[in-house]
Amino acid sequence: MNSRITEQLRNMELQKKIVSAAEAASWIEDGMTLGLSGFTRAGDAKAVPMALVDKAKDGPFKVNVYTGASLGSDIDKLMAEAGIIHKRLPFQADSSMRRKINEQELLFTDQHLSHVAEMVRSEVLNPIDFAIIEAVAITEEGEIIPSTSVGNSTIFLEKANSVIIELNLAQPAALEGMHDIYEPGEQGKRLPIALTSVDGHIGSTGMKVDLEKIKGIVLTNDLDSPSTIVPPDEDTATMANHLIEFLREEIRAGRLTNQLAPLQSGIGSVANAVLHGLLDSEFEELEVYSEVLQDAVFDLLDSGKVRFASGCSITLSQEKMKTVFPKLDQYKDQLVLRPQEISNHPEVIRRLGLISINTALEADIYGNVNSTHVCGTKMMNGIGGSGDFARNSRLAIFVTKSVAKNGDISSIVPFVSHVDHTEHDVDVLVTEQGYADLRGLAPVERARLIIENCMHPLYKEQMTAYFEEALARGGQTPHVLEKAFSWHLSYAETGTMLQSEPASLRK
Amino acid sequence: MNSRITEQLRNMELQKKIVSAAEAASWIEDGMTLGLSGFTRAGDAKAVPMALVDKAKDGPFKVNVYTGASLGSDIDKLMAEAGIIHKRLPFQADSSMRRKINEQELLFTDQHLSHVAEMVRSEVLNPIDFAIIEAVAITEEGEIIPSTSVGNSTIFLEKANSVIIELNLAQPAALEGMHDIYEPGEQGKRLPIALTSVDGHIGSTGMKVDLEKIKGIVLTNDLDSPSTIVPPDEDTATMANHLIEFLREEIRAGRLTNQLAPLQSGIGSVANAVLHGLLDSEFEELEVYSEVLQDAVFDLLDSGKVRFASGCSITLSQEKMKTVFPKLDQYKDQLVLRPQEISNHPEVIRRLGLISINTALEADIYGNVNSTHVCGTKMMNGIGGSGDFARNSRLAIFVTKSVAKNGDISSIVPFVSHVDHTEHDVDVLVTEQGYADLRGLAPVERARLIIENCMHPLYKEQMTAYFEEALARGGQTPHVLEKAFSWHLSYAETGTMLQSEPASLRK
């Protein structure tokens, strides 16, 4: 056994359990439920799921796959295409899997990320037959050190009948010591989660597991799939500026200081770009309390803008991995990775008073937000942690470009075709047109502000006409119900939500 | 000064500040914002708001009115009819006010009950010019002892520029000592809320206030308005039985014990009736952690079924007031009243793992719930605390009769006309037809179960036809978007959602 292996696999008994990925996959049977590590492409179990896909060539079987969030390495894609998934939860972000979900070839339960651990712990979901967990090390005592994400691994290890560990020798060894593993225990018997600051540590650096349950250790040697975010563009830079302007107003009003409040930012290019925009701001000594730590967080750490970042995963572009991973130990006092139940816990989010920034797929004039469903029916990725954060933050901010598909889709519609965040939970809406601060406003006030500040000029007249017609009918939240989805229907029929060219734009 | 007054108003300096309600009302000017005590008809300031209504005869003015929740004594009705309200938040339940809201004569901000205190504390809402707070006593040191509700009084007292206390000599003096007043402090600087059991006490029995701010004490002598709940009927009894059957299944599955978990029940007749149904159950040593303590809670305490109840208000029928109030001191070790920020706090709700039972106005086949808007536009009462509880409970249960208006309205529709609780936050739906346990299910699974178990036979075929047509179009959450609101539109046009008599019922 080479020294790199014995350095990382320090428990002597477990050294005897090294098996091939194919052998580990052979233990997995039709009808089983698997709990996989992995959160937004980071720290996912790679080899065993891949071997499981191979195994499908020998005959059909189906398993339930629970994870932290989305997986990398095309695992979601390959599993979906192999037809081996019966039910997937709580989040995915792969185009093939998305297609299979929408073709109803597999079941997808779209769930708040902080709730999965509660449901596993209380045995509401199917019992987990195998936890398959990536680790960067196993200690002498047999504690499992997670790699670039923690996700739901802690609870999967605790509740699974059997465990397979993928010991990844390619992940930076410096990850060891960066985790803060805390298990809150059963509802009704638990204590307060003692975290009162972003940089607090309340747990252990490794995950506990009954060593008897570990059936095999698989050695792997591949990095995570890099993130697929695109760089900031003109629109996202403008959105970042609007957001910064809003935050300045909060400082002027005495509601925030120059240090703001701990920041959360959802996954994806837009949220990353908006966070990136803070690089050029006057804000200082910022803190991040988020789920995914993307490229922008490391730029902000490097520039000194951010003093500390707490997350559940590190999900970087290829380029950023190359610069960050070799010097990861330099971030040791500035980074912590927590289980998603803690990174997304309402108790901590409300206590710390986060500023949360998440991406909307569409919003309506009353401030309801759709994060998940294209035209109300087709799943995109899932709600992820956006509900955990928006529901409990000091400031729930949603960002979206005001139009998509070259203007054929307005991201602001009369009535969202699916609701993931209700009017009660959306504080501020930001587009490249401007921002609308909806706090404390009644619905008709919200509508006027969103139309005025956030809508693209292409659609303003069309929406004003809808709103005026609705207003004439009265009500707390005026609607013309028979036309509420007319924009979506128009898009489906004609390829554009634009019902006629606005008079103001006509030559 | 008579002895009853000096017993209850024990601070000598404040005894000098007794004024008439009319005088206190004269201090209130056009454009001011008022923070009133009162939570679901209990412990509301009565005399000064009434004097304010009188004052409107002398000339027009408008004020913003923030409260705990709904008021009694027809105050919301009279204020709305007098036209003196500019904006009202966060909840109301009066038919006249409702009409004025829907006629857009006053603005109504419909808000989670646990969020108001955060918004007042962080000065997001308008500054409060006058807090007008009912008390049952003022101590020697000037602590304000609330009466039958705490609501938002703690934060109103802290943040208001001036304070008027209504000392109510009719309320039971035994209320003193029953409150647990805790102020969490600013977000980002606060400690964990140390409550780890329903019967815990973490604060003081009275509310602190800067005595300099108290401008007047008004003496009053009227009880709260009794609650208007109607007694359990056959349907609500059947719903209670379905709920009990579900809870038994949870016990059989090992997820609950015979003691269940702390119970929350929303306001209104249905939730009260369902709770009442537990009287005849085999469950024991129950605990209540709720906002409003209605008649059923006292029946359960008297029968020994409930060992302890924590709430934010005591809201009783006239009959129940007569039996409970004279012997209130007997409940001293079994009751506590907390600020609504604590009774409804996500941190505590998640930690204790509540079973929450709230009423739906309508639900859709995917489990989205509308709690507030009739046909998507007209406000009923408001979301109240239902979102606080549903979002964070162990079990978020919604109850509704499957039809209304003699069958012309189906409470289960293809697409709810307003979303207050998303599919992610609704665990169990109960009607008099049965229950649907939605936990861990994908949308198409949820739809089949809701149609099968919860829908009224009158509408099952009509819904099955909708669902089959939607299913053929594919998607994670299948819909026929152009027909999604057809049931509501049909009701508006023809007076019934029933589009044709179902074949199975035809002779």
> For residue B125, which residues of chain A lie inside 8 Å, CB to CB?
439-440
* pLDDT tens-digit series, residues A28-44: 999 999 999 999 999 99
Closest-CA residue of B relative to A475 is: B102
Closest CA to B29 of B118, B193, B161: B161
Q: Is B279 exposed, middle or buried (0-12, 13-18, 19+ CB in 10 A)?
A: middle
Give the DSSP letter of residue B255.
S
Q: What does the pLDDT read at residue B1?
A: 66
- At residue B244, does pLDDT exceed 70? yes
pLDDT at position B347, please? 98
Q: Could you give the CA distance from residue B290 to residue B354 in angstroms, rounded to a whole number? A: 9
User: How does pLDDT run across B153-164, given as a tens digit for each residue?
Assistant: 999 999 999 999
Nearest CA distance, A311 vs chain B (angstrom): 17
Q: How far is B351 from chain A (nearest CA, A)?
A: 5
Task: Give the residue from chain B lying closest to A255, CA to CA.
Answer: B122
Asked whether residue B223 carries a pLDDT value surpassing 70, the answer given is yes
Q: List the single residue in B107, B351, B481 with the smallest CB-CB distance to A489.
A: B481
- Identify which of A416, A403, A384 has the alpha carbon closest to the alpha carbon of residue A265: A384
Task: Work out the angle at residue A444's Cα, subtended by the Cα atoms of residues A439 and A446, and round it to the nearest 5 degrees.
Answer: 30
Question: Pairing state of beta strands A85-89 and B373-374?
Answer: unpaired
DSSP states of A406-435 as a string? Answer: GGTEESEESS-SS-SB-GGG--EEEETTEE
Residue in B370, B363, B365 with CA at minimum distance from that of residue B477: B365
Counting every residue, how long is chain B? 507
Higher pLDDT among residues B102 and A277, named by residue: B102
Nearest residue of B to residue A385, measured between CA atoms = B424
Taking the C-alpha atoms of residue B159 and residue A490, their distance in angstroms, rounded to an integer, is 50
Confidence bin at A244 (pLDDT 50/70/90): very high
Q: Find the residue in A nearest to B427 (Cα).
A: A124
Q: Best of A424, A425, A437 to disrupt the B interface by mutation (most B CBs within 10 Å)?
A: A424
Mutate to test the interface with B, among A371, A476, A477, A494 (most CBs of B within 10 A): A476
Judge whether A479 and A428 are in contact, CB under 8 Å. no
Residue B186 CB neighbour total at 10 angstroms: 11
Instruction: Give the confidence band of B69 by pLDDT, cuts at 50, 70, 90.
Output: very high
Residues of chain B with C-beta less than 8 angstroms from the C-beta of A492: 481
Dist. CA B10–CA B21, nearest whole Å: 20
Cβ neighbours of residue A417 closer than 8 Å, sequence gap 6 or more: A362, A370, A373, A375, A376, A377, A485, A488, B479, B481
Q: Which of A345, A470, A484 sits opposite B485 (nearest CB)?
A: A484
d(CA A309, CA A317): 18
Q: Where residue B507 falls among pLDDT bands split at 50, 70, 90? A: very low
pLDDT tens figures, A179-219? 999 999 999 999 999 999 999 999 999 999 999 999 999 99
**A 102-141: CB under 8 A from B:** 102-104, 107-112, 115, 118-119, 122-126
- How far is residue A141's CA from residue A436's CA, in Å, rounded to a whole number? 54
Residue A477 with chain B: CB contacts under 8 Å: 373, 376-377, 379, 418
- d(CA B313, CA B298) in angstroms, rounded, equals 13
A262, A288 contact by CB (below 8 A): yes
Report the pLDDT value the prediction gives residue A231, as an integer from 0 to 100: 82
Contact B125, B159 (CB under 8 A): no
Q: Which of B240, B275, B172 is nearest to B432 (CA)?
A: B240
CB < 8 Å to A371, chain B: none
Closest CA to A93 of A119, A116, A70: A70
How do residues B159-193 score in pLDDT, each as one tens digit?
999 999 999 999 999 999 999 999 999 999 999 99
CA B231 from chain center: how many Å?
18
Q: Can you tell me the distance from the alpha carbon of B117 to that of B134, in angstroms, rounded to the nearest whole number?
A: 18
Given a cut of 60, whether residue A293 has pLDDT beyond it is yes
Which residues of B, range 53-72, sit inside 8 Å of A by Cβ? none
Place of tokens 């919604």: B398
Confidence bin at A4 (pLDDT 50/70/90): confident
- Which pLDDT belongs to residue A504? 61
Residue B506 predicted with pLDDT over 60: no
The answer to whether B180 touches B337, Cβ cutoff 8 Å, is: yes
Confidence of residue B267 (pLDDT cuts 50, 70, 90): confident
Check if the beta carbon of residue A226 is closer than 8 Å to that of residue A318.
Answer: yes
A420 touches chain B (CB under 8 A): yes
What strands, in cross-sheet order, belong to the sheet with B434-437? B335-337, B306-311, B286-289, B263-265, B355-359, B395-399, B428-431, B434-437
pLDDT confidence of residue A273? 85
Q: How buried is residue B16: exposed, middle or buried, by Cβ count under 10 Å (0-12/13-18/19+)? A: exposed
Determine which helix (DSSP H) or strand (DSSP E) holds B138, and give its type and residue range: strand B130-138
pLDDT of A240 above 90:
yes
Q: Does B346 touch chain A (CB under 8 A)?
A: yes
Phi, psi (5° rounding) for residue A183?
-115, 115
Per-residue pLDDT at B372 exceeds 60: yes
| Residue recorded with tokens 């697929």 | A228
**DSSP type of residue B149:** B
Min CA distance, A395 vs chain B (Å)? 10
Residue B504 binned pLDDT confidence (cut-offs 50, 70, 90) = low
Question: Is A138:A205 a contact under the CB 8 Å cutoff?
Answer: no
Residue A123 has pLDDT above 50, yes or no: yes
Q: Which of A123, A373, A478 sits opposite B377 (nearest CB)?
A: A478
| Helix or strand holding residue A240 (H, E) | helix A234-252
Do residues A187 and B394 make contact, with C-beta atoms less than 8 angstroms apart? yes
Q: Which helix (H) or strand (E) holds B47?
A: helix B47-55
From the candidates A143, A166, A183, A291, give the one annotated as an active-site residue. Answer: A291
pLDDT by residue (tens digit) across A321-356? 999 999 999 999 999 999 999 999 999 999 999 999
- Residue A476 and residue B108: Cβ atoms within 8 Å? yes
Calpha distance A91→A372 (Å, rounded) = 10
Residue that the structure tokens 């208000």 belong to: B313
All residues at 6 or more sequence positions from B376 whose CB lies less than 8 Å from its CB, including other chains? A477, A479, A481, A484, B370, B417, B418, B485, B488
- Could you identify the residue written with the tokens 């059989």? B252
Helix, strand, coil shares, percent, chain B, to 5? 35, 20, 45
**Cβ-nearest to B481 among A187, A424, A488:** A488
Instruction: Say which range, A485-499, B314-328, B352-366, B491-505, has the weakest mean pLDDT.
Output: B491-505
Q: Distance (Å) from the C-alpha of residue A90 to the closest C-alpha of chain B?
A: 9
Mean pLDDT of A466-480: 98
Please report the DSSP string for B97-114 in residue order. Answer: HHHHHHTTSSEE----TT
**Segment A56-108, tens digit of pLDDT:** 999 999 999 999 999 999 999 999 999 999 999 999 999 999 999 999 999 99
Query: What 3 state SS string does A35-47 have?
Result: EECCECCECCCCH
The residue behind tokens 């128009």 is: A490
| Burial state string for B476-501 with b = 16 or more CB within 10 A and e = fewer than 16 | bbbbbbebbbbbbbbbeeeebbbeee
Alpha carbon distance B186, B492 (integer Å): 47
DSSP string, A101-128: HHTTSSEE----TTTHHHHHHTT-SPPP
Measure the CA–CA gap between B57 and B164, rounded to whole angstroms: 22
Tell me the DSSP string of B181-203.
B----STTTPPPP---STT---S
Distance from CA of A105 to the nearest CA of B (A): 10
Q: State which H helix or E strand residue A218 sits in.
A: strand A214-220
Alpha-carbon distance of B389 to B355, in angstroms, equals: 9
pLDDT of A470 reads 98
Could you give the CA distance from residue A43 to residue A150 in angstroms, rounded to a whole number?
7
Contact B422 A387 (CB under 8 A): yes
Peptide bond into A90 cis (omega under 30): yes
In the numeric block, the tokens 């989805």 are attached to A485
pLDDT bracket for residue B505 (50, 70, 90): low
Q: Of the candidates A360, A499, A498, which has an alpha carbon nearest to the alpha carbon of residue A416?
A: A360
Asked if A270 contacts A239 with a C-beta cutoff of 8 angstroms, the reply is yes
How far apart CA A241 and CA A271 sit, in angstroms, is: 13
Q: Cβ separation of A441 and B392 shorter than 8 Å?
A: no
